[in-house]
Amino acid sequence: MFGRGVQKPLLDITCAKNAQIYMSRQLPPLNALRAFEAAGRHQSFSRAAEELSVSHSSISRHVRGLEHRLGAPLFRTEQRGVALTEAGQRYLAHISPAFDQIAEATEALAERPEGTLVVNSESSFAIKWLTPRLEDFRTRFPTIDLQLDVSQNLVDVTRYEADFALRYIAKGLPDGPADLIGGLPMYPFATPELAATIKSPRDLLQHAPYRDRQANTWADWFALAGGVAPDELPPHGWRMRVLLAIESALCGHGVILCSAELVEGHVAEGRLVRCFDIPLTEGAYYLIGSERSARSRSARSFRDWLLDITVPLRNRSNL
């Protein structure tokens, strides 16, 4: 009797203390935290508003309310927008991982990976190579909303501008987490009618030279092919965007030096043929991610799928 009479109050006191601890947790409003976290990542109220599908004034109102609640300025106004204060940087360093953990925990409960996945890519690679293969990904992962964004500028995956970026790196290696997709060697391609008139590398000098890289890749290719002195090459002229260059080559206006993967559909249709089997490999394509994408099931699913279908690219380029 005595033992039971003593134990019961002790248990009640312990439970009461635990309840008091849990009830005393003070958290700012979730919408305010979301607004701050998005604005902090983007260093922009406008881009945060776009991401969260709210107005610019809504983001500003939530952030100002959060600053008032915390008693500390989180942003400072600059000529081109806003920037995090030192306090804002410290706060964001804790808030972003917390949102990541919530997202990961939520995704882990789903039977299949799901959610929105944004992949940024150069337009030529996205249109000519990746897009024709996306139906296979969507068939395998119907619960993942894959959004393909194209731009020539490399997005900042660390700021959640995209989950992945597919980019050609001419020299060196990407900064941060990245996977090699392939070297994608370049060859000269032309219409069958034009290619029939080309018997030697020197014959290429009679036609407009198109290319899909910023560097003067034609000079590098002729150095491999031989038969043409460097001073015989046309001057380094204006570079046409690769999609326009491919269309010009399809019209028979010249010869394009580009990755075989970019014109494989036109080759299969018989509209373009390879003039010479002399490959030029400079740089490689990479899938650039972040620590966050490495933890996401949907992102890992895309990465594994892409690395699986690009095995032939890596084998052909011997990289």
**199 has pLDDT over 90:** yes
Please indicate, yes or no, whether the overall pTM of this predicted structure exceeds 0.85: no
Per-residue pLDDT, averaged over 258-282, amounts to: 93
| Whether the domain at 115-184+284-317 and the domain at 186-274 fall into the same CATH topology | yes
Q: What percent of the chain has pLDDT over 90?
A: 49
Q: Name the architecture of domain 186-274.
A: 3-Layer(aba) Sandwich (3.40)
- Whether residue 9 is predicted with pLDDT greater than 60 in this model: the reply is no
Q: What is the pLDDT of residue 319?
A: 45
Note the pLDDT of residue 204. Answer: 94
pLDDT of residue 60: 94
CATH architecture of 30-109: Orthogonal Bundle (1.10)
In tens, the pLDDT along 107-122 reads 777 666 778 899 999 8
> What is the CATH code for 115-184+284-317?
3.40.190.10
The answer on pLDDT for 13 being more than 80 is: no
The pLDDT value recorded for residue 184 is 85
User: Please, which pLDDT band fits residue 2 given cuts at 50, 70 and 90?
Assistant: very low
Q: What is the DSSP string of the chain?
A: -HHHHHHHHHHHHHHHHHHHHHHT-----HHHHHHHHHHHHHT-HHHHHHHHTS-HHHHHHHHHHHHHHHTS--EEEETTEEEE-HHHHHHHHHHHHHHHHHHHHHHHHSSS--EEEEEEE-HHHIIIIIGGGHHHHHHH-TTEEEEEEE-SSPP-GGGTS-SEEEEEESSS--SSSEEEEE---EEEEE-HHHHTT--SGGGGGGSEEEESSSS-HHHHHHHHH-SS-GGGSPP--PPPPHHHHHHHHHTTSEEEEEEGGGGHHHHHTTS-EES----B--SEEEEE--HHHHH-HHHHHHHHHHHHHTHHHHHHHT-
Name the residue with higher pLDDT: 271 or 4: 271
The residue ranges of every structural domain in the chain are 30-109, 115-184+284-317, 186-274
